[in-house]
């Protein structure tokens, strides 16, 4: 326990300047998740014990159950908890110093870097290639751009699937998740049609069904890519506020 | 805005219907391949946002000439009066459109947006944290997917006290506080465990008694 404590403190104090022997007022907030984890275990045992008083291990070993219950507290749980706190106490962030500290800490250590990488990847592997392939009709260029877009779409779709697994039915409560699914389906259709004739000029006003479908699909896809890119732009504080005001 | 926009579009629709029912409209030069009613709706919208142009009632003008040519003097006079009443009504509708939609409602919209902007500009902290939290959840999900979701059973948050100006922490003070808090937590854990054990024992005892009773029966 002592060893664990020292490791935790060492990790917590990373990035903080310490002055040994100086009596300095520190607010130290301590949350022990073990009672919570312990409670989860008790609930699990209560729900899954059979008539002989023995635990039903078959059920525990099933993949379905493993995904549902975690007997430990993770950073995702923490981020989710903070999000729920904010959702239930809208507009009171000024008074919630702890929430702000936790949020800032995770944001500075993990999120800002990750959001920056995602913004970069989405811009250069989807947004720019998608727009370029609409106006440059050179065969190999269209194939390259669309392949990049497809790879990025598959990567994001894989993430959506994982999100579905982790969040369960909660995933479908978010409107943006529906937009993401529809965006992926639309791009797959677009990709399939575009690859059939990469040299095709759009629009050609000749009432060719494939060309017409591509021209029509480009409308929701441009909207979708623009909205998706704006999501990653939220990492810039001023930009996020402006988006909210608009 | 959720009240304003339906109200605004409702009046655009009403004024468009009025114009259409009076047999007037707007010149179709700017609106090729569109129906008469669609042209009127679009032109009413343009008038409502300050892009003003005059109505077109050429059918009434043609009618006026036809009345003069065909009918007798009295009925021609009645027809002329009727046509002029219609033309007056067309201009009245056009004038009401400018007055109500452009002068009143559009300026009202500007004031609504101005007020909303003023109210929300002070919410910059709320918005910033809402966005940060959204991105935090997204990142945490991403890390979980990648197998990088750090697991822990204890959280310790260290921050300078509210009235302090320095950002330096006293290591020994922090450790003392943490160990004190941990002791308290351990005691509560122990209490919880013993409470649960007690309950389990009592239940087991009950079960044993019931079993014994069942067997004796």
Looking at residue B165, what is its pLDDT?
A: 56
Those residues with Cβ within 8 angstroms of residue A49's Cβ, 6 or more apart along the chain or in another chain: A55, A56
pLDDT at A80: 85
**Cα(A63)–Cα(B156) distance, rounded to whole angstroms?**
32
Task: Indicate the range of A51-55, A241-245, B25-29, B38-42 predicted with least confidence.
Answer: A51-55
A9–B175: do the CB atoms touch at under 8 Å? yes
Judge: B153–A32 Cβ closer than 8 Å, yes or no.
Answer: yes
Torsion of CA B123, B124, B129, B131, to 10 degrees: 110
Instruction: Give the C-alpha separation, A183 to A126, whole Å.
Output: 12
B126–A28 C-beta distance less than 8 A = no
Predicted local distance difference test score (pLDDT) of residue A16: 53
What pLDDT is recorded for position B40?
A: 93
What ipTM did this prediction achieve? 0.71
Among chain B residues, the shortest Cα distance to A52 is held by: B207
- Both tokens of residue A29? 């907030």
The closest CB to that of A102, out of B157, B163, B179, belongs to B157
- pLDDT for the residue numbered A125: 94
**A42 → closest Cβ in B139, B162, B196:** B196
Q: What is the pLDDT of residue A25?
A: 59
Q: Choosing among A40, A158, A228, A245, which should be mutated to test the B contact, i.e. which has the most B CBs within 10 A?
A: A245
Long-range contacts of A200-208 (CB under 8 A, 24+ apart): A200/A137, A201/A137, A202/A134
Q: So what's the pLDDT on residue A119?
A: 92
Cβ pair A79:B139 closer than 8 A: yes
B155 min Cα distance to partner chain A (Å): 5
pLDDT of residue A233: 85
Q: Which of A2, A4, A6, A28 to mutate to test the interface with B (most CBs of B within 10 A)?
A: A28
Strands annotated E in B59-201: 151-152, 154-160
Residue from A10, A21, A25 whose CB has the most chain B CBs within 10 Å, to mutate: A25
Pairing label, strands A73-74, B154-160: unpaired
What does each of the 246 residues of chain A score in pLDDT, given as a tens digit? 444 555 555 555 555 555 555 555 566 666 666 677 777 777 777 777 766 666 665 555 555 544 445 566 788 888 888 888 887 776 677 777 778 888 888 888 888 898 899 999 999 999 999 999 888 888 889 999 999 999 999 999 999 998 888 888 888 988 889 999 999 999 999 999 888 888 777 777 777 788 888 888 888 999 999 988 888 888 787 777 777 776
Element (H, E) at B22: none
**A35–chain B Cβ distance below 8 A for any pair:** yes
A166 contacts on B by Cβ (under 8 Å) = 141, 144-145
pLDDT score recorded for residue A239: 78
User: Contacts of residue A161 in chain B, CB cutoff 8 Å?
Assistant: none
Q: β-strands B151-152, A26-32: how paired?
A: unpaired
pLDDT of amino acid B96? 93
Which pTM was predicted? 0.66
Minimal C-alpha gap between B199 and chain A (Å) = 12
Q: Do B137 and A80 touch (CB under 8 A)?
A: yes
Is A83 within 8 Å of B117 when comparing Cβ atoms? Answer: no
Calculate mean pLDDT across residues B124-129: 83
Residue of A nearest to B189 (CA): A35
DSSP character string of A207-222: --HHHHHHHHHHHHHH
Sequence ranges of the domains in chain B: 4-122, 147-217
Distance from CA of B197 to the nearest CA of A (A): 11
User: Which of B132, B171, B181 comes nearest A107 by C-beta?
Assistant: B132
Q: Which residue of A has its CA nearest to B155?
A: A31
Whether residue B140 and residue A8 make contact (CB cut-off 8 A), yes or no, is no
pLDDT at B92: 94
Tell me the sheet residues that pair with B122.
none
The pair of structure tokens assigned to A32 is 């022990």
Name the residue in chain B with its Cα closest to that of A103: B133
Give φ, ψ of A236 to 5 degrees: -90, 115
Does B155 contact A30 at a Cβ distance shorter than 8 Å?
yes
């Amino acid at each position: 326990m002592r060893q664990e404590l020292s490791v935790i403190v060492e990790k917590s104090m990373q990035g903080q300047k310490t002055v040994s022997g100086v009596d300095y007022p520190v607010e130290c907030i301590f949350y022990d998740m073990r009672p919570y984890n312990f409670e989860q275990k008790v609930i699990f045992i209560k729900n899954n014990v059979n008539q002989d008083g023995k635990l039903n291990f078959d059920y525990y070993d099933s993949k379905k159950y493993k995904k549902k219950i975690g007997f430990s507290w993770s950073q995702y749980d923490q981020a989710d908890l903070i999000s729920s706190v904010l959702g239930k106490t809208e507009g009171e962030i000024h008074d919630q110093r702890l929430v702000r500290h936790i949020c800032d800490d995770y944001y500075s250590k993990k999120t800002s870097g990750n959001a920056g990488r995602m913004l970069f990847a989405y811009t250069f592997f989807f947004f720019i290639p998608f727009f370029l392939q609409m106006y440059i009709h050179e065969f190999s260029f269209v194939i390259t751009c669309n392949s990049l877009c497809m790879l990025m779409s598959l990567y994001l779709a894989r993430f959506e699937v994982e999100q579905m697994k982790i969040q369960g039915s909660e995933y479908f409560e978010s409107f943006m998740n529906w937009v993401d699914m529809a965006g992926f389906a639309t791009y797959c259709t677009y990709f399939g049609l575009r690859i059939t004739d990469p040299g095709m000029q759009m629009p050609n006003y000749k009432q060719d069904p494939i060309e017409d479908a591509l021209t029509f699909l480009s409308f929701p896809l441009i909207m979708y890519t623009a909205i998706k890119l704006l999501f990653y732009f939220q990492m810039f504080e001023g930009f996020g506020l402006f988006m909210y005001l608009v | 805005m959720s009240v304003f926009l339906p109200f605004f579009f409702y009046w655009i629709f009403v004024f468009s219907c009025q114009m259409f029912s009076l047999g007037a409209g707007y010149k179709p030069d700017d609106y090729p391949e569109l129906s008469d009613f669609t042209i009127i709706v679009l032109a009413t919208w343009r008038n409502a946002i300050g892009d003003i142009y005059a109505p077109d009632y050429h059918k009434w003008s043609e009618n006026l000439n036809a009345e003069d040519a065909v009918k007798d003097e009295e009925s021609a006079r009645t027809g002329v009066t009727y046509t002029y009443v219609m033309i007056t009504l067309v201009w009245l509708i056009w004038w009401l459109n400018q007055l109500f939609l452009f002068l009143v409602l559009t300026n009202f919209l500007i004031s609504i947006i101005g007020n909303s902007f003023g109210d929300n500009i002070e919410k910059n902290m709320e918005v910033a944290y809402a966005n940060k939290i959204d991105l935090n959840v997204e990142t945490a999900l991403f890390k979980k997917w990648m197998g990088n979701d750090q697991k822990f059973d204890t959280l310790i948050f260290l921050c300078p006290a509210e009235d302090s100006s320095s950002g330096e922490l006293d290591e020994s003070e922090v450790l003392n506080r943490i160990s004190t808090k941990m002791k308290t937590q351990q005691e509560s854990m122990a209490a919880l465990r013993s409470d649960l054990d007690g309950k389990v024992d009592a239940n087991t005892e009950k079960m044993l008694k019931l079993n014994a009773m069942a067997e004796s029966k």
